[in-house]
């Protein structure tokens, strides 16, 4: 095939984004206790560019407070009072990272690094070990969110290895719910008549009358659900909606005070955990390795319908009568010939570049024909901007304007698997700016090169607002032909990728074709962007989310010029799941937390975590990302564990450890190589992490 160049884009502020939340940052000061402040640690609050810090210094051996301990941060010094509490104000933020140190006579010092920002009022307690008994443990490392791994203990390789690639269970049919924590109260009423022969209708009328009287007594006008058939089992039970704005616990207590109920408690919920297939039946789908590689089956389980999305393919044109495309093709335009027939005239190679790109975006899928597209049912708007000898900057700019101006060719996402050397021409920049102002997402290929050729990212990919896409191979490694540089945003599979094709030499569209290039990687990203838009994610958030959720695959931690922020992770991107909300902590084998729970931070080295004041002992580093945000461990959440075995890590006093975490999608369905014991262990570790989270929240509110 031709070597169409790809584009790239620079970063928004997302490259400098960090998530530095700690549970102790949520602390609300309820009382003000006495404190003795030395040096310049006192003051009346944080000045611009400064933050405040408060907390307690405790003895690890007795759990009692330590009066007279000193806490220092950026030259500020505070001394704890008789209550063991310190307060530091006006601490300079500096570069956003500040070391804080606590010392006390007869104790080992404790030091930690905090991620801070101006105006914050943080809570940080210190636990000091008596001198000669060693100190607390520090655990840190990076966490990588693997696209296509089903996680459980036995499903991971040895320590430090990336999670095993294997068929992972797809997500349930429902979209990940964002629900109020508790929406109902379950009420048990006194038993009704036990006479035999009573009908369910009679029972329902009796229960209805009882619940009406109950709600009238508490002044609640809410809906409720009756269960008359359960009364035959001895349960006269009703589920009552909680009044808007009232905690379920308070409403339950109010119902109890009436004296007319046996019990009232917040309802418990179950969610569907069935796994319908989201593996399409297209015969060439097994050859399309790219979808399994990046976890598209899981993604399609959550969001596969993009029928309201329009994706413009600015390319060589498309074979409009292709049997696996035509029902998803809208009318298009030929900028080169200035007519309404954007058919690819062919270049004698037997490959229709534009038809392949269009198929990767939106081939008809699950129709038992040829191949699958990335965004099911997305409508493709073909716009021909490339002739046999390429297209001008004006052709490209005109095509971009056509695709985003009101009219029949308007699109939500633009894919440009094309490009040229040098900076993006001003006219193309202006067209892209207009597209962005009109709410479009612009994706472009970073470009291809052969040995000895320039490797710079091509235009329009090198224009900052464009999402620039590099190519990887089937092993998640950077493709050596893929252009690289600081403009690369993200990577996607682009080596021997199968898609729809039209062979002009034979006049046949019977067979898909495989091709390599960043031209093949970009439409996969464009298809994912269409799914994200279909899921309700604003266009302006697409690039930031793609970068924050990418799987870090480069040779260096964090951003690298070959693959940008990493391999696209459609599952996290489409569910709009921020890895920064992952909880990480150390838990022993019995489920007791050895540390508080923290969130990772996104920095130049990728997602990293730091656990201070870990208690010595044996245990596991455990991570959990609650994808459906319901507060429970469900199939489809991301989890990680270190060590990747049944044997815990020994944490010695005063030592520091660094462990990588490779997170995968959790499945409670036993796989062939996953023992029941390992799944039970996951539940134990999760319960310990949940306790650390809850303990932290309780401590922060004190």
> Is the distance from CB of 588 to CB of 691 less than 8 angstroms?
no
DSSP for 34-97, written as a single string: --B--TT---SSPPTTEEEEEEEEEETTT--B-TT-EEEETTEEEE--TTSEEEEEEEE-TTSE
CA distances from 167 to 298, 299, 434, 699 (A): 10, 13, 42, 41
- Closest to 356 measured CA to CA, from 563, 524, 529: 524
Beta-bridge partner residues of 354: none
Rounded to an integer, what distance in angstroms lies between the CA atom of residue 358 and that of residue 234?
61
> Is the distance from CB of 475 to CB of 455 less than 8 angstroms?
no
Rounded to an integer, what distance in angstroms lies between the CA atom of residue 320 and that of residue 341?
9
Residues with Cβ within 8 Å of 507's Cβ and at least 6 positions away in sequence, in order, are none
> Is the distance from CB of 451 to CB of 552 less than 8 angstroms?
no
The catalytic residue among 138, 353, 449, 599 is: 353
Which region, left, alpha or beta, applies to residue 132 given φ > 0 means left and ψ of -120 to 50 means alpha? left
Rounded to an integer, what distance in angstroms lies between the CA atom of residue 326 and that of residue 362?
10
Rounded to an integer, what distance in angstroms lies between the CA atom of residue 689 and that of residue 666?
16
Q: Within a 10 A sphere around the Cβ of 72, how many other Cβ atoms? A: 20
- Closest to 532 measured CA to CA, from 304, 362, 361: 304
The catalytic residue among 519, 595, 608, 678 is: 519
Collapsing DSSP to helix, strand or coil, 503 comes out as strand
> Is the distance from CB of 215 to CB of 240 less than 8 angstroms?
yes
Rounded to an integer, what distance in angstroms lies between the CA atom of residue 333 and that of residue 343?
9
433: number of CA atoms within 13 Å, CB side? 7
Pairing of strands 70-73, 97-103: antiparallel
Pairing of strands 50-59, 126-128: parallel
> Is the distance from CB of 418 to CB of 314 less than 8 angstroms?
yes
Beta-bridge partner residues of 91: 51
Active site residue 315: yes
The catalytic residue among 7, 315, 398, 412 is: 315
Residue matched to tokens 């930031």: 544
Rounded to an integer, what distance in angstroms lies between the CA atom of residue 127 and that of residue 612?
10
Rounded to an integer, what distance in angstroms lies between the CA atom of residue 2 and that of residue 516?
10
Rounded to an integer, what distance in angstroms lies between the CA atom of residue 97 and that of residue 119?
14
CA distances from 59 to 68, 106, 562 (A): 12, 10, 49
**Cα Rg of the chain, angstroms:** 30
Strands (DSSP E) found in 210-317: 224-226, 237-241, 263-266, 310-315
Active site residue 188: no
CA distances from 516 to 101, 124, 382, 502 (A): 54, 52, 21, 16
Phi, psi of 280 (to 5 degrees): -65, 155
Active site residue 519: yes
Q: Which residues are catalytic?
A: 315, 353, 519
């Amino acid at each position: 095939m031709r070597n169409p160049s790809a584009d790239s884009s620079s970063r928004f502020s997302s490259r400098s984004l960090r998530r530095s939340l700690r549970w102790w940052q949520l602390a609300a000061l309820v009382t003000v206790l006495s404190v003795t402040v030395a040096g310049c640690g006192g003051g009346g609050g944080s000045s611009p560019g400064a933050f405040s810090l408060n907390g307690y210094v405790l003895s690890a051996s007795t759990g009692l407070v330590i009066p007279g301990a000193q806490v220092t941060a950026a030259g500020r010094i505070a001394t704890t009072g008789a209550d063991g509490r310190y307060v530091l104000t006006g601490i300079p933020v500096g570069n956003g990272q500040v070391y804080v140190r606590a010392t006390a006579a007869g104790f080992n010092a404790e030091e930690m690094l905090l991620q801070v920002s101006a105006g914050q009022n943080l809570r940080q307690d210190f636990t000091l070990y008596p001198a000669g008994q060693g100190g607390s443990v520090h655990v840190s490392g990076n966490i990588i969110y693997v696209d296509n791994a089903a996680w459980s203990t036995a499903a991971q390789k040895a320590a430090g290895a990336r999670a095993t690639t294997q068929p992972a269970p797809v997500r349930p049919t429902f979209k990940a719910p964002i629900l109020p924590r508790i929406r109902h109260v379950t009420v048990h009423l006194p038993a009704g008549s036990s006479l035999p022969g009573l009908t369910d209708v009679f029972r329902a009328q009796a229960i209805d009358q009882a619940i009406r009287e109950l709600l009238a007594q508490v002044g609640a006008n809410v809906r409720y659900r009756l269960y008359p058939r359960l009364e035959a089992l001895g349960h006269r039970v009703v589920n009552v909606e909680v009044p808007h704005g009232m905690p379920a616990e308070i409403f339950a207590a109010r119902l109890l005070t009436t004296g007319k109920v046996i019990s009232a408690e917040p309802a418990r919920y179950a969610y569907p955990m069935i796994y319908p297939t989201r593996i399409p039946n297209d015969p060439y789908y097994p050859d399309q390795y790219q979808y399994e590689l990046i976890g598209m089956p899981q993604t399609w389980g959550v969001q596969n319908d993009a029928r309201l999305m329009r994706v413009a393919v600015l390319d060589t044109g498309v074979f409009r009568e292709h049997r696996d495309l035509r029902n998803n093709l809208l009318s298009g335009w030929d900028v080169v010939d200035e007519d309404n027939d954007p058919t690819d005239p062919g270049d004698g190679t037997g490959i229709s570049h534009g038809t392949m790109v269009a198929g990767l975006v939106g081939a008809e899928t699950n129709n038992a024909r040829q191949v699958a597209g990335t965004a099911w049912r997305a409508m493709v708007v073909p716009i021909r901007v490339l002739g046999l000898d390429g297209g001008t900057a004006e052709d490209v700019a005109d095509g971009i304007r056509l695709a985003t101006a009101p009219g029949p060719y308007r699109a939500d996402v633009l894919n440009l698997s094309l490009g040229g050397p040098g900076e993006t021409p001003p006219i193309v920049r202006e067209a892209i700016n207009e597209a962005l102002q009109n709410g479009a997402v612009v994706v472009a290929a970073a470009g291809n090169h052969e040995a000895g050729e320039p490797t710079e990212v091509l235009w329009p990919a090198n224009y900052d607002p464009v999402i620039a896409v590099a190519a990887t191979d089937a092993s998640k490694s950077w493709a050596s032909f893929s252009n690289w540089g600081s403009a690369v945003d993200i990577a996607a599979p682009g080596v021997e990728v199968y898609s729809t094709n039209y062979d002009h030499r034979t006049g046949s569209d019977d067979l898909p074709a495989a091709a390599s290039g960043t031209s093949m990687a970009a439409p996969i990203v464009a298809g994912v962007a269409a799914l994200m838009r279909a899921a309700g994610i604003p266009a302006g958030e697409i690039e930031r989310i793609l970068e924050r959720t990418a799987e870090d695959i480069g040779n260096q931690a964090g951003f690298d010029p070959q693959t940008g922020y990493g391999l696209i992770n459609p599952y996290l991107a489409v569910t709009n799941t921020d890895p920064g909300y992952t909880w990480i902590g150390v838990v022993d084998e019995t489920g007791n937390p050895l540390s508080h729970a923290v969130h990772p931070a996104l920095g130049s080295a990728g997602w990293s975590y730091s656990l201070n004041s870990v208690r010595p002992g044996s245990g596991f580093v455990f991570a959990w990302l609650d994808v459906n945000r319901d507060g429970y461990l469900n199939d489809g959440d991301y989890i990680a564990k270190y060590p990747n075995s049944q044997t815990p890590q020994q944490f010695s006093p005063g030592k520091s450890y660094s462990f990588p975490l490779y997170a995968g999608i959790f499945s409670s369905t036993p796989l062939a190589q996953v023992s029941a014991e390992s799944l039970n262990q996951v539940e134990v570790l999760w319960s310990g992490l949940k306790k650390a989270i809850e303990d932290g929240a309780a401590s922060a509110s004190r």
